[in-house]
Amino acid sequence: MRIFEKLGEYNYEQVVFCHDGSTGLRAIIAIHNTTLGPALGGCRMYPYASEDAAVTDALRLARGMTYKAAASGLNLGGGKSVIIGDPQKDKSEALFRSFGRYIETLGGRYITAEDVGTSPEDMANIQVETSFVVGVDKTYGGSGDPSPFTALGVFQGMRACAEERFGTDSLAGRTVAVQGLGHVGYHLCRLLSEAGARLVVADVREESVERVVREFGAEAVEPGEILSVGCDVFAPCALGGVLDDRTVPQLRCEVVAGSANNVLLEPRHGEMLAKRGILYAPDYVINAGGVINVADELEGYNEQRATKRVMRIFESIKAVIEVAKRDGVPTHVAADTLAIERVEEIGNMVRLHTGHPYGQLKRQRETL
């Protein structure tokens, strides 16, 4: 991999390679942009097939966090870290404490949190070595499981889409097809049931399906059928890349709004949705509730305040829709525009402020 070409392609600020032979630590920290504040992004642990694959994943996820934070109104930048290893076999207290020491050396430029393959317990081990970590268990002063907040944000974004498409933000009587019934999918079903929606659900785990059917009266279909269910809203809450050349034509919905990351296999699939008249809630905007919740820990966690901030995802999705109308573009393009405009606006302000290091650098260059 030509790493500096990769960094230059999307203007990454920094990549840190972390190695500790005694603990087996092999980790990568990617910092994309810190214009709005320190980079926040979870720590993923996964048995990558190659080091290049790990670097590519870290870079992709870090850039996504910049857009997510910016579009959500957070005063944070985008970063991500990955640990190469099997989370079922390779975890240890020493490994995560070693990783925490590397985070500490960055002096607050990067703040980590749990992600795929890591847990609040792992974050607690990191916290022994650094204060630049969020998403720890409530017993350690953190916010605990972020899933209910991610689900709440998706629910609010779904309401915003319903208002745009159906003329009312009420989901009562609407049919919502939920793909994936993990922690977030389950809590989303709970909220939708309470709102009076009709649920059609699917998951590869039979016990998850049975629970939602039992508790919320959902109708179950096979995993391969959920994409073609006739519904008002399709909610992808499982793996990413679910919408592609094959699946987009199968959709029989008015709105796509769910918690999964990277729902579109490629950006052009967002254009396909728009051409079909399907309103898409961009994933990194609608699923930001968990990030917004853990970010509140940086101020001393207050659940009521965090909940209010997550509820604002309603306004965030409305703003994306308005930009899409303004510019005549699909919503996934509008979300990127909204994020980029905020980063550029704050970046220009920062650079003009002579008391800020950017301003000092500007003066130094002008005197050369």
Give the residues across from 245 on adjacent strands. Answer: none
CA 57 to chain CA centroid, nearest Å = 14
The β-bridge relationship of strands 77-84 and 39-40 is parallel
Which token pair is 169? 């933000």
Name the strand (E) or helix (H) holding 32.
Answer: strand 25-33
255 vs 176: CA distance, rounded Å: 9
DSSP 8-state symbol, 145? -
84 vs 178: CA distance, rounded Å: 32
Contact 279, 165 (CB under 8 A): yes
Q: Judge whether 184 is annotated as a binding position.
A: yes
Q: Of the candidates 343, 335, 348, which has an alpha carbon nearest to the alpha carbon of residue 36?
A: 343
The β-bridge relationship of strands 77-84 and 43-46 is parallel
- Among the listed residues 6, 68, 80, 275, the single catalytic one is 80
Q: Judge whether 196 is annotated as a binding position.
A: no
Name the strand (E) or helix (H) holding 155.
Answer: helix 147-166
Q: Is 275 a catalytic residue?
A: no
Q: Judge whether 182 is annotated as a binding position.
A: yes
Q: Judge whether 181 is annotated as a binding position.
A: yes
Return the active site residues.
80
Binding-site residues, in ranges, read 180-185
Binding-site residues for NAD(+), in ranges, read 180-185
